[in-house]
Homo-oligomer: A and B are copies of this chain.
Amino acid sequence: MLPLLVVHGGAGHIPSDRVQDSVLGVCAAVRAGYSFLTAGGSSVDAVVEAVANMEDNPRFNAGRGSVLTARGDVEMDALVMDGRDLSSGAVSAVKNIANPVQLARLVMDKTSHACLTAGGAAEFARQMGVQEVSTESLITDYSRARWKKNLDPGAKPVECQMGKMGTVGAVAVDAEGNIACATSTGGMLNKMEGRVGDTPCIGSGGYADNSVGAVSTTGHGEAIMKVVLARLILFHMEQGKSVEEASDLGLSHMRTRVGVWAGSSPWTPKGPGPHASRPIRWPGPLHVTKRCTGAFIKESITLNL
């Protein structure tokens, strides 16, 4: 059943007029990432490619299309993790680059650190020759309209955000059985300048370990961080739970202890295939619910997408 790639386009209710583009977006992303896997690329190559594809797609809250900060700026977070040796790279509150997930990978590959933030991350990007892009090029009419709507003192950005556009992520296993995950986001609507959410926080925004599996999360970042959701789900898998049981246990704990739901896309080499917990489900190779768009791909179903 290898190689395999799962992508998600974020949690929450998708407005009906945006469903089709979301479906096309996750299909394009999963195809882009899978082409690396079939060409002998690694799982890290695949998740970075799939997530970068969604960063380039203005329909998702990552890269171009990111939600705006309270001041109308774009600050993005991203994470990538290699399940072979648990190495990871992350960036937080980065501006003026098109693909934060690629910069996160450079942090993993080219530094002795696991996370760079804000100005230091920007300086590193310049050293690596990453092209600078204008803030305007990352902003869409849709993101600006939502930002304006949420400047109202009575606005509820968290409730407004849920489902309209979400964090994107991917988990993959390559032909050699190596596992990786990547997650990227513009964060929360109208967030404070400098807000860092779950995405670049290892164990919350994602986690990958060859000996267990991988998870990429999406939802209300501050709630996901309270339970360190990705690592929590993998703990349960380590204890012998199935992917489904582990995912449900993690999310149930989150609802009980924090009162908020989230989504996750865990995968394990021991299990039957990818699983997305309530409220995100992919019962087939590609499935869209009112709450999420996601896709998974493996050799036998490549032609379906």
Which A residues form the contact surface with B (CB < 8 A)? 75, 85-88, 90, 92-93, 111-124, 158, 188, 191-197, 201-204, 207, 209, 221-222, 225-228, 231-232, 235, 239, 257-258
Contacts and interface: CB of A to CB of B under 8 A. Distances in A.
Nearest to A235: B235
Contacts of A188: 113
Contact of A203 (B196, B228, B257): B228
A119 B203 CA distance: 25
A120 B193 contact: yes
A204 to B, nearest CB: 7
A119 B228 contact: no
Question: DSSP majority for the A interface?
Answer: mixed
A117 B222 contact: no
Contacts of A235: 232, 235
Contacts of A209: 257
B118 A158 contact: no
A123 B88 contact: no
A191 B117 contact: no
A225 B114 contact: yes
Contacts of A239: 239
